[in-house]
Structures are given as structure tokens and as C-alpha cells.
Amino acid sequence: MTHDLILHHYAGSPFSEKVRLVLGYKGLSWKSVSVPVILPKPDVVALTGGYRRTPFLQIGADIYCDTALMCRVIDRLAPTPPLYPHAAGGQQHILAQWADSALFWVAIPYTMQPAGVPHIFGQAAPDIVKAFAADRAAMTAGMRRPTTADATAQLRTYLGWLEQQLDDGRPFLCGALPCIADFSVVQSLWYIRRAPPLATILGPFARLSEWAERVQAFGHGTHEQMSSADAIAIAHAAEATAGLRFEAERGFAFGQEVSVTPTDYAQDPVTGRLVGLTDDEVALEREDPRAGELVVHFPRIGFQIRKTDTTS
């Protein structure tokens, strides 16, 4: 690897835990940059161009947004042990996508009920908790989030499904080997377990609790702290990846100005010149006064691409 893997994340972020565990499973060394938990995030948007979600992965001047894409990139760079073993079949992707959306959006409101808040925020002052709630309310505007009662009922049902998946004594969700689904599911259980009085909901699901321990045991690999200023300097000094694939038949032209926006929440567009396009990935080239020329990559699933120039 020419450049270090730099994970921009914060300790309490479930999606970051998913990627940290993947890095641990692969036995990788990486650099750790702490990002702010709420806006403003000037050093984040210097690199991403506006995308504010956590985590993102930096490799030189390439920025990878969304954990679905980050995990594929990590697996490409370090293929052993495989994160998408053939034996885990197509269901691993479907299960991972369900966990990243449906399970996540039940686990979060369940854990953020009043009994969970002191465990998630520790000794934080009430105005920090208030600022967090306001930030996330603005980020999810238009989403109808489940009440505590809804979340509790839905979570019990989901945990029952997962327990049933492990009924035959398999060590991992899709069989004998760990796969992407294990990491996507465990992040939500990890979050719930941070609030011990609420983690009692896992009590009846013995196989699932043992499975969670097994996945958490992969750890986080080895990492060293890096400042965001150093990460920006690394981006500035590096050249972004050449040789991205571009499939022109989709009605988009190479080099055209486009925006890429998440379709679910935190819908902040990133604009730039289209330099990569496949069924799996879209890549934009953009400049930042501090970070220089960058290529920002997104998966296709969960994102919308729109032309921003009207001249082509």
C-alpha cells in the first residue's frame, strides 16, 4: 500500500465501529483521525466536499464515503481473510443492507431513550446533549423516527430473526466464516450494549449474544492517532488514484459537473467533475483550498447523481 489507511471517525459512532472491526478482522494498521460528533466539521468537509456523515476513509487524496464502499475498498486492498466469502452467498449483502438501515434505525432510538442517554453521553453537560439532539433532528428532518415503544417492539422482533439465523449452531450469521453481514449487524448490538440497563433486551437471545462477543473479539487492529491538519496535508501532497473505470453509456459524460447526494438522511450534496462511474461506485474530482485536488468516492446504492451544469 502506497498510502496509509486513514479512518476519520469518533469513538461512539456505530458505523465507525463496523469499520474498526473490519480493520481488526483483517489485522491492519491504520491512522485514526477524530472528527467532531456534530456540525460544524470544517476539516471533514475540506476533504469530503460537504458529506458530513461518519466515518469516512482517506487514502492519500482519495476519500471514500459510506461504509458499504469503504468495506469493499478495504477488502480489495487486503483480500485475506475475505470479507465477502463466496460461501456466504448473496444473502450476506442483503442482510448487511438491512442491518445498516432497518436494524440501525431501531437500535438508535431504542438506545437513546431517557434510560440510555446517561450511558451514551457519560458526564457530558446537558447543553451538549441538547446540541446533539438538535443536530440529529436537523440531519433527519422529514424522517419519522420510531417512538421508544415502537423501537422496543421492532427490536425484539429483529433480534428474534437474528437468533433464528444462528439456530443451527453456525458461528457466524451466514455460516462458518465471518462476512460483511456480521459487521453490519454487530454495530447496532455494540451500541445497545453501551447502555447496560437497556442491553437486557438481548438477554433472551443467547446465541446472538455469544455471536456478538465472537465478532467483537476481532478488535480494531493497530492504530495511531493523527490530527485532521496532518490528514489534510497528506491529501494535499498526494495524487488521487488514476485509472478509475468510467462507463459512459449511462447518459453522463466524463468530466461533467455533477452532484452526489445521500437519498436517506444528511442530504448534503457534494459537487465535482465526474471521473468514475460504474454500477457500484461514483467518483468526483474536486479541489479544496487546503486539501488540494481530491477524488471523492461514493457507492451507487443510497445516493443520487444529478448533472449540475446545464450546458452539456
Ligand X SMILES: N[C@@H](CCC(=O)N[C@@H](CS)C(=O)NCC(=O)O)C(=O)O
User: Which residue type does 277 have?
Assistant: L
> Is 28 within 8 Å of 74 (Cβ atoms)?
yes
Supply the minimum distance, in Å, between the C-beta of residue 28 and ligand X: 18
Q: How far apart are CA 155 and CA 200, in angstroms?
A: 12
Nearer to ligand X, 143 or 248 (CB): 143
User: Shortest gap between Cβ of 190 and ligand X (angstroms)?
Assistant: 11
Q: Which residues bind ligand X (CB under 6 A)?
A: 13-15, 52-54, 66-68, 100, 139, 302
Whole-number Å distance between alpha carbons of 66 and 214: 25
Please give the C-alpha separations between residue 210 and each of 163, 214, 224, 296, 297, in angstroms, as whole numbers.
10, 6, 30, 38, 36
Q: Are 128 and 121 in contact (CB under 8 A)?
A: yes
| C-beta closer to ligand X: residue 16 or 256 | 16
Which residues, other chains included, contact 245 with Cβ-Cβ below 8 Å and sequence gap of 6+?
276, 277, 278
Q: Which is nearer to ligand X, 14 or 178 (CB)?
A: 14
Min CB(35)–ligand X separation in Å: 7
Q: How far is CA 141 from CA 179, 209, 214, 228, 271, in A?
A: 33, 33, 36, 29, 22
Q: For the CB of residue 20, give the shortest distance to ligand X in the complex, in Å.
A: 12
Nearest approach, Cβ of 37 to ligand X (angstroms)? Answer: 6
Nearer to ligand X, 132 or 246 (CB): 132
Q: By C-alpha distance, which of 201, 194, 217, 197 is closest to 162?
A: 201
Helix, strand and coil in the chain, % to nearest 5: 45, 20, 35
Q: Nearer Cβ to ligand X, position 227 or 267?
A: 267
- d(C-alpha 179, C-alpha 26), whole Å: 12
Report in angstroms how near the CB of residue 46 gets to ligand X at its nearest: 15
Distance in Å, CB of 39 to ligand X, minimum:
7
Complex with ligand X: residue 13 or 165, whichever CB lies closer:
13
Amino acid (1-letter code) at residue 276: G
